């Protein structure tokens, strides 16, 4: 199945603010995990980002069992060189099936990543 980059469906909660109903919350070091969700449950990822660079996370999703609730970048404070920025994405389970999130940081769209590009992968199974 081809990957696609989903569009956010709910922007009512800012990405830096807590969101009620989060079932799982992952950091970049927890890449490669598999989670099982019930319909309506939410999983979020909070990944590092450097506000001083133009690079972003590319987070294509294959499968159709989840939808992107919201995503975006926010800074944890500090100066131009501060590495305390974050990218956060929240997905909601929509129906039975399996989806795979295959994120990579710092790649120009349409180009292949290098082995040194940070990655984040998550398999989501919806019952």
Which among 37, 42, 30 has a CA at the least distance from the CA of 67? 42
| pLDDT range class, residue 5, cuts 50, 70, 90 | low
Count of structural domains, the chain: 1
Say yes or no to pLDDT of 78 above 70: no
Q: What is the pLDDT of residue 7?
A: 77
> Both tokens of residue 54?
């133009």
The per-residue pLDDT for range 7-23, each reduced to its tens digit, is: 778 888 899 999 988 99
Task: Examine residue 7 and state whether it is found in any structural domain, yes or no.
Answer: no
Q: At which residue do the structure tokens 């319909």 appear?
A: 39
16-25, 30-39, 53-62, 92-101: the lowest-pLDDT one: 53-62
Task: Examine residue 92 and state whether it is found in any structural domain, yes or no.
Answer: yes
Q: What is the DSSP letter of 30?
A: G
Say yes or no to pLDDT of 92 above 80: yes
Which among 8, 1, 127 has a CA at the least distance from the CA of 67? 8
| CA distances (Å), origin 35, targets 75, 84, 124 | 28, 27, 5
Domain that holds residue 69: 22-126
Task: Examine residue 4 and state whether it is found in any structural domain, yes or no.
Answer: no
Task: Examine residue 85 and state whether it is found in any structural domain, yes or no.
Answer: yes
CATH number of the domain encompassing residue 99:
2.60.40.2020
In the chain, what is the greatest distance between 2 CA atoms, to the nearest angstrom? 44
């Amino acid at each position: 199945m081809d990957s696609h980059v989903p569009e956010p469906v709910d922007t009512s909660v800012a990405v830096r603010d807590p969101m009620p109903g989060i079932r799982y919350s992952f950091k970049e070091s927890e890449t490669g995990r598999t989670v099982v969700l019930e319909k309506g449950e939410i999983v979020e990822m909070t990944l590092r980002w450097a506000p001083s660079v133009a690079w972003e996370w590319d987070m294509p999703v294959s499968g159709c069992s989840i939808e992107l609730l919201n995503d975006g970048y926010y800074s944890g404070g500090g100066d131009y060189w501060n590495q305390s920025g974050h990218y956060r994405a929240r997905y909601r389970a929509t129906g039975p099936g399996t989806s795979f999130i295959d994120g990579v940081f710092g790649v120009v769209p349409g180009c292949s990543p290098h082995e040194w590009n940070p990655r984040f992968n998550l398999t989501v199974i919806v019952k």
